[in-house]
Amino acid sequence: MCVMTTGTALLPASAPAPVWARRAAHAIALCAVPSGLWRIAMASGVYVGYSDQVLRDVFDIPGWGIAYVVGLSVLTELAALFPLLLVSDRWRPLHPRVVTPLAWTASGVLVLVALWQLVVAFTVESQTHMSSGTAQTVWGCAFAPLFAIPALMTAVTWSYAKRHRARGRA
């Protein structure tokens, strides 16, 4: 069986993605949902632990901050859907020689971003704006799943690279 790509050449079909890789790719998309919903709640005026003054002064909500926060949520979820392309058997928009380095780069960036976010989350500056207690616990629960994404993305990328490397040798 051959698969069409955006180019004119036909590529032989690679082995299907293992079940664990498919589940990991879907988990990545789901990990981004809680933080997106939390941001949208913040943009909608739901109390998420920030005072009205902090929302105005720091986040510009109401104002352009709403577009930024909602846009960030949408972009995060769209980016979290990328790994589904790595496990898809039906749609391959780019050649694996292009997708593989892109996926490895995304994995590396995600690891760095996760490490940076840990630093930011535990600095005094980031903790001074949010009230403590329940709001901070909800915030932590909403953003905690994001820290699983780098490991999941690396595993899905490894699976993709392994399947397409094996196809190249065949």
Identify each DSSP E strand in the chain by its residue range: 2-4, 10-12
Q: Is the pLDDT of residue 110 over 80?
A: yes
pLDDT digits (tens, 9 = 90+) for 115-170: 877 777 677 555 567 777 888 888 889 988 988 999 998 999 999 888 877 555 54
pLDDT digits (tens, 9 = 90+) for 39-75: 999 999 899 888 888 888 888 888 999 999 999 899 9
Say how many residues make up the chain.
Answer: 170
- Span 88-94, average pLDDT: 69
List the beta bridge partners of residue 10: 4
Number of alpha carbons in the 13 Å side-chain half-sphere of residue 55: 19
What is the model's pTM? 0.76
Q: Which residue has the higher pLDDT, 33 or 104?
A: 33
Would you call the peptide bond into 62 cis, given omega within 30 degrees of 0 as the criterion? yes
Place of tokens 């020689």: 97
* Residue 55 · residue 42 · CB < 8 Å: yes
